[in-house]
Structure 1
Amino acid sequence: MSTRTCPCGLPQSYDACCGRFHSGAASAPTAELLMRSRYCAFVKGDAGYLLRTWHPRTRPERLDLDPRMRWTGLEILDADGGSAFHTTGTVTFRASYRGGRLHERSRFERVAGAWVYVDGDFLD
C-alpha cells in the first residue's frame, strides 16, 4: 500500500485517493474528483483510465501519452455542478508541467450513473 501523497493534490495517499478510481474499486462521485483522478492518470501514464472516463461521443480511438511529460501540480480554480445531485458539471483548473501549464475549463456529464469527461476550453 502506497503512503505517498496523491499527485492530484489532496492530502491522502494515492491508494486511498485516485488509486481506487484507477483500479476500478470505486467510481469518482463528483466531477471534481473525476478531474483530479484524470490529472493523476496523466501523471501515472494511465491511458486506459483516461479513455474509460472519456465520454463515448468525444473519446478518441486511442491516446498516445508522451512518457517524457512531467506533470508537477494541479490547482482547482472553480467547480460548478458536478455533484451527486447534478447530471453535468464544469471544473476550471491549472495543471503545471515541466516547462509550462495548462489552464482549462472542462465539461463533464454522467453516463450510466458515472461521471465522464466530455471536452474542455483552453483559457490561456
Structure 2
Amino acid sequence: MPKLLVYATALFFLVYGALFIVIPAEIAYLITDSSPEPTSATIDFRATYGGAQLAIGVILLWIVRQKNDLDLALVLVSFVLLLMALGRSIGIVVDGQANTLMYVYLVAEVVFGILALVLRKDIS
C-alpha cells in the first residue's frame, strides 16, 4: 500500500504537469472556470503548474526506484499534499467563493497527505 500511494501520487503529478505544459489554458479553465491572461500568465502556468508538477512526479519516482527510500517518498508526499491543502485552505478563507473542485482537491490533499504519514509509521 505505501508504494502504491507513492506511485499513484507520482502518476497524478506527472499527468497533471504534462497537461499543464501542453494545454495550460484549457486545463486551467476546466479546474477554475477561467484561463490565464495575458500570454505571460500562460507561460507561467506551463512553468509553475507544468514544470513543478512534473518535477514532483519525477522526484517521487526517483526516490522510490533509484534510492529505494520509501520512507522519504512518503514524507515528500505528505509535505507536498498537506502544504497544498494549507495554501488552498488559506485561499478559501481569504478569497472565498471556491468552486466544488477546490473542495474535492482539499479533501484529497488532506486525506492522502495524512495517509502518507500513517503508512510511513507502518513501514518503520
Q: Would the TM-score normalized by the shorter structure come out above 0.5?
A: no
Structure with larger RCO (C-alpha < 8 A, sep 6+): 2
Name the one with the larger helix percent: 2
TM-score by length of 2: 0.28
Q: Write 1 or 2 for the structure with the bigger share of strand.
A: 1
